[in-house]
Chain A
C-alpha cells in the first residue's frame, strides 16, 4: 500500500507528466511479478500504512489545497537553492492528517529539525524507487537533478532513523511531534522572514478555505469535526502572527474584532429566530405532522402579521384620534344611543350583536363626525378615515403580490413530469419529521405514492372503461353543482326572511331568527366541504388533482355564499336608503314643527334643550353593513371554534375513552381521530380575511377583531392539533401549494374590494352619520382637502395632472413598460429552459462516455489479471500469486484514483471531462471509482447533483486489503 501511495503522490506532484507516468506504470504492471518478492518483504510496512492510506483518501479530496501545492511545486526551481529537500517535505504529508501536514510543511521549510519525518519520507521515496526501477529514477533526475545527490547525502541519516520511523507510524506520536512544532513556532513568530510569512499566510488561507468548504465534503462527521477543530486552532494561532511590527498588532486586533463581530452576528441571528413569534410551536408541529400542516400555521402567522399592520393603521389613525380628540359621547345625536334603544343598550347580547353602546362608539362608521379637523392637532378626521380605508387595501395588495413574486422565484425550479421516479426516490423524505408515528406514516405514504405512480404509468398506457369514469365525473360535478345551488338558494331565502324580520323589528324575534343568516352561512361552509369530499370519491382522480378540485369547489361555495350575502346586503342598503329619504323628509317636518312650536310659545331660544338621544335620525346603512360583517365574523369564529371543540376534541375524547368498552377498535378502525384539514382551514382563513377587507371600511374595529381571532386560533389550533389530531395518512408537500394559496388570497382580495369600492363610489353617504355625511360622495373629501388645505397652485397642478390628455399617455406608457418587462422575463425563462436542456444532454453524453470507458477499463483489468496470474503460475508460487493479485487490485484502485487526482488538479475541468473517454488505458477496476469523480469536481453539473454517490464507499474497499 505504501508503494501505491507513493505512486499516487507522484502523480500529484507532477501533474504535467501524467501521461508519461501512465505509460510508466503500465510498464510496471508488466514487471509486477518481478517485484513480487520485494513486496512480500515489505508486507509489514504496507499493513501498517493501510490506515494512513485511508487518511489519504480523504485528503485527496482537498482539491484547492492540492492545486496550491502544485503551484508551489512549480515554483520549486527558484527555491531549490535554499530549500534543499522540498521533495521530502511534501512526503510526510502523506502520512499524517491534514492539520499535521501543513504545520510540518512550515516547520520543514524553516527549522528542518525533525529529521525522522523526513527520513520516513525519504524511505518511502526509496521504496518507490526500488519498485519503479530505473525509469522512475531517470524521471526523478530529470525533475530535479540535485535531489538525488542530496538523498544520497542523507542516506546515512536515514539509516540512523530507520527504526524510529518504523515505530513512529502511530499517529499519536506524530501528533506529539506536531505539538512540539507548534510550541516551537509559537515562541518565535517574529523571527520569520518575509517569505516564510508568505507561506504561513498561504497556509492560513488554505485553512480558511478548508473551513469554508468543509460542509460540502463527503467525509464522515467525525473526521469533519476533527479537521474543523484543528483548522480553527491553526488559524487562530497563526492569524495573529501575520503582518509586521505594528502592522501585526493592528492585524491581530482586526482579526479579533472581526471574530467578535461574527459572533455577535451569530448571536443576533439566534436572537432574531427566538423573537419570531410561535416559531418553536410551529417547529414542534412540523416535526409531528410534516411540513404541510406547518405551512398552514406559517400562513396563519403571516396573516396575523398583516392584520397587525392593518390594525395599527386603523387603530392609530382613526379610532384613537377620534376617541381622544373627537367630540365625546353624547354631544351630538350620532354619538348617542337613541331613546328607544337606550333600555337594551347595555344588554349582555351587545357583546355578540354589536348593538347598543357598541354600535354608537368608535367601532363603527356612524359614530364619526363630519367635522373637518378635530382637536388641537387639527387632525383631518374624514380625510384620515378615507385614506386609511384606501391604504389598508393598497397595503394588502402590495404585500400579497410581493409575496407571490418572491414565491414564484422559489418554485418553478423543478418540473414534475420528467423525472418522476427520481424525484420521488431522492426528495420524498421530509427531514423535519421528529415523531416516529409521523415517520411511519411518511414511509407508508411514500410507498403508496410509488405504487400509485407505477399504477399511473400503467394506466396511462391502457385506459379501460373511459365512459364509466367520464359518466361518474360528470355525475359528481352535477351533484356538486346541485349542492352549490341549494346552498345559494338557502342563503338567499334566509336573507330575504331576515329582511322581513328587520322590517317587523328585530326585537320581536328570537336570537336564532335574528342570526339565521350567519348561522346558515357558517353551517353550510362547514358541512358542504365534507359532502364534496365524499362526492369526489366517485371521480377517482389522482389525489393531487382531487385536492385541487376540492379546493376549487370549496372556493366556489364560499364565494357563492359571500356574494349571495353581499347581494342581499345591497338590497338592504337600498331599503335603508328609501327609509332614509322618508326620515329626511320627516325630520324637516319635525324641525319645522319644533321651530313653529318654539316660535309660537316664546321668541327666546330655550328650544336647544332637546336631548340628542331624542333627535330622530336616519337608518345609517354604513353602520348596518359594518355590523353585519362583524356579526358574520363573530359567528364564523364561533363556528370554527365549536367545530374544533366538537369535531376534534370531543371526538378524540370519545374515541379514546369509549375504546375500552366498545365492540371494535375505535382508534384504528372507523371513527378514529380526525386529521388536520389543511386546505379547508386555509380557505377558511382566506375567506375570513376577505370579509375583513370588505367590511373594514364600515367597521374600523374589524382588523382588531381579526387580530384577536387569529391570536386565539393560533393557540387553540396548535393545542388541538397536538392533542387531538393524528398525522395525515397522505402527506402532501407544502412548498408547491404555497403560491396557490397566495393566488387565492389575491383573487379574494380583488373580489372583496370590488363591492366595497362599488358602494363607496356609487352610493351617497348617509346624511346624518359618519365622517362623510353631507357630501355627495365619499371621495369628495379629497377634493375638499385639495381645495382648502393645499395652496392654490397645487390644486391647479392636480387638475392638470388629472387631465385625460396627460393621464392617457401615462397609462399607455405603463402598459408598454409592463409588456416589455413581461416579454423579457418570458425570454429569460425560455433561455433557462434551454440551458437546462443543454445541461441534461451534456450529462447524458458524459454518462455514455463514462460507461464506455468503464467497459474498456474492465477489459484491461481482466487482461492484466490474466497476465499476472500467468506469470505467477510460472513462478509456481501459489501464495505469492495470491498476494500479487491482491496488490494488483490495490494498484488498480490507486491508479484510478491517481488518474482522478491528476484530472482534478487541472484548472480547466470541462475539457478534461471531454477528454475522459479518450484517455489511454484507464484502468479502473470498477466503474464505481469513476463516479467518485463527480464529487466536488469543479466541473460537475449543478443541475444534477443526484448522480453523485457517497464517497465513503471507497474506504471499506481499501480496508479489505
Chain B
C-alpha cells in the first residue's frame, strides 16, 4: 500500500489548499451550514429571522438604522447576500450623481437594496422593485414600509422578471428607465438585459448596475456587454459582501443606444 511517508508529503498541499480557500470555507459554513441548522432549529426562513432582528434592533422610519441593523445581522449572525455596505457606497454615489426619476430593481430579496436606493433618490422619483418569491416579497414590503417609504416611492411587483419586463410599458406606463439595478439570479442577467434592450425602455445615458458579476459571476452577461458595443461599461472591483477575501465586482453599464 501507499507508504505513510508519501502521505505525509501531501501535507503541504493540504495546508496550501486550506489556507488558499479559507474564505470559501467560511462562506460555505455561514451561508449553508448555519442556515440549514437555524432553519431546522427555529422553523422560520432566513429572511424572517433577519426581519425579526431588524424589527427589534432598528429605529422605524430611519432607513440608515435599518441598513445598519441588516449589516450587523449579516456579518455577525448569519449570511444573506445583500449588496453590503462597501459596494453599497458605490451604488449610493452613483444614484446621487444620476438622480434618476425612474428606477427598476430586479431582485428585491429582503428590501435592503431597495431601501438603499430609495433613500438617495431625488424627490418625485419612483422605484419599481421586482421580486419573484412571494415570502421574500412580503418581508421586503415590511422592511420598506418600516423604512418609511410609501407606495409612491417604491412599487413592489411580485412576479418573475422575464414576465414583468415586457409588460412594463403597457402595465406601468413607463417610457424610459433611468437606472436599472440587477441583483437577482445571475443566470437571468443576460436574458433580462436583452429583454430590456428589446423593450426600448433604455434611452441614451440609462445606467445599468449589476451586482455580483465576478462571484458568483455572470460571464455570459459580461461577454454580451463587451461584444454588443451598446454600452460604455466598467467593473467596480470589490470583495463579496460581508467577506474579505473573495473578489467580486459590480458592473456599471451606460447605455449608448444602437450604433
- B40 on interface, CB distance cutoff 8 Å: no
The CA-CA distance from A669 to B13 in the complex, in Å, is 21
A527 CB–B CB distance under 8 Å: yes
Is the CB–CB distance between B214 and A527 below 8 Å? no
Chain A residues with CB below 8 A from B123, complex form:
none
Most chain A CB neighbours (cut-off 10 Å) among B6, B10, B218:
B6
Interface residue? A493 (CB, 8 A) = yes
In Å, the complex CA distance between A520 and B2 comes to 11
Produce 1/0 per residue, A513-544, CB < 8 A to B: 10010011001101110110110000000000
A665 touches B10 (CB 8 A): no
Which listed residue, B15, B21, B218, touches A665 by the CB 8 Å rule? B218
B5 shortest CB reach to chain A, Å:
5
Among A473-520, those with CB < 8 Å from B are: 483, 487, 490, 493-494, 497, 510, 512-513, 516, 519-520
Chain B residues with Cβ below 8 Å from A510 are: 1
Contact call A664/B217, Cβ cutoff below 8 A: yes
In contact, B12 and A531 (Cβ under 8 angstroms) = yes
A513 to B24, CA, bound (A): 37
* A659 CB–B CB distance under 8 Å: yes
Residue B41 CB within 8 A of the other chain: no
Contact of A377 with B by CB under 8 A = no
The reply on B16 being an interface residue by CB < 8 A is yes
**Inter-chain contacts of A663 with B (CB < 8 A):** 216
A670: chain B residues at CB < 8 Å are 21, 24, 215, 246
- The answer to whether residues A490 and B217 also contact, given A512-B3, A534-B19 and a CB cut-off of 8 A, is no
Q: Which residues of B contact A483 (CB under 8 A)?
A: 12
Provide the residues of chain A in CB contact with B12, threshold 8 Å.
483, 487, 524, 527-528, 530-531
| CB contact list, B197-226 vs A, under 8 A | 214-219, 222
Contact A531 B15 (CB under 8 A): yes
Q: Write the chain B residue with the least CB distance to A537.
A: B19
Per-position binary interface string of chain B over residues 5-32, scored 1 when its CB falls under 8 Å from any chain A CB and 0 otherwise: 1101111110110011100100000000
A668 at the interface (CB under 8 A from B): yes
Q: Residues of A within 8 Å of B, CB-based: how many? A: 29
Q: Are B219 and A668 within 8 A (Cβ)?
A: yes
Q: Does A87 contact B (CB under 8 A)?
A: no
User: CA A611 – CA B217 in complex, angstroms?
Assistant: 74
Q: When A483-B12, A527-B12 are in contact, do A667 and B219 touch as well, CB less than 8 Å?
A: yes
* Contacting pair A520 B5 (CB below 8 A): yes
Docked pose: A184 CA to B126 CA in angstroms: 85
For B21, the chain A residues whose CB sits under 8 A away are 670
User: In this complex, what residue of B is CB-closest to A659?
Assistant: B219
Picked from A512, A526, A665, the residue with its CB within 8 Å of the CB of B214 is A665
CA distance A51 to B57 in the complex (A): 78
Nearest Cβ on chain A to B170's Cβ, whole angstroms: 35
Once the chains are docked, how many angstroms separate the CA of A524 from the CA of B16? 12
Contacts of B215 in A (CB 8 A): 664-665, 669-670
Partner of A524, one of B9, B186, B217: B9
Of the residues B5, B13, B222, contact of A493 by C-beta under 8 Å: B5
The minimal Cβ–Cβ distance linking A802 to chain B, given in whole angstroms, is: 49
Q: Are A520 and B16 in contact, CB atoms less than 8 angstroms apart?
A: no
CA distance A446 to B142 in the complex (A): 49
Which of A493, A494, A534 is within 8 Å of B16, CB to CB? A534
Task: Establish whether residues A668 and B3, one from each chain, have CB atoms under 8 Å apart when the complex forms.
Answer: no
Q: Is the CB of A520 within 8 A of B217?
A: no
Most buried by A among B8, B12, B13, B217: B12
| Chain B residues in the interface with A (C-beta under 8 A) | 1-3, 5-6, 8-13, 15-16, 19-21, 24, 186, 214-219, 222, 246-247
| Closest 10 A/B residue pairs (Cβ) | A665-B217, A664-B216, A523-B9, A527-B12, A527-B13, A530-B16, A531-B12, A534-B19, A494-B5, A520-B9
Q: A residues engaging B (CB < 8 A)? A: 483, 487, 490, 493-494, 497, 510, 512-513, 516, 519-520, 523-524, 526-528, 530-531, 533-534, 659, 663-665, 667-670
A-B contact pairs, 14 of them (CB 8 A): A512-B3, A516-B3, A516-B5, A520-B6, A527-B10, A527-B12, A530-B13, A531-B13, A531-B15, A534-B20, A665-B186, A665-B215, A669-B214, A669-B216
Given A523-B10, A668-B222, A670-B24, list of 11 further CB < 8 A pairs?
A: A490-B8, A494-B5, A497-B5, A519-B9, A524-B12, A527-B9, A527-B11, A527-B13, A665-B215, A668-B217, A670-B215
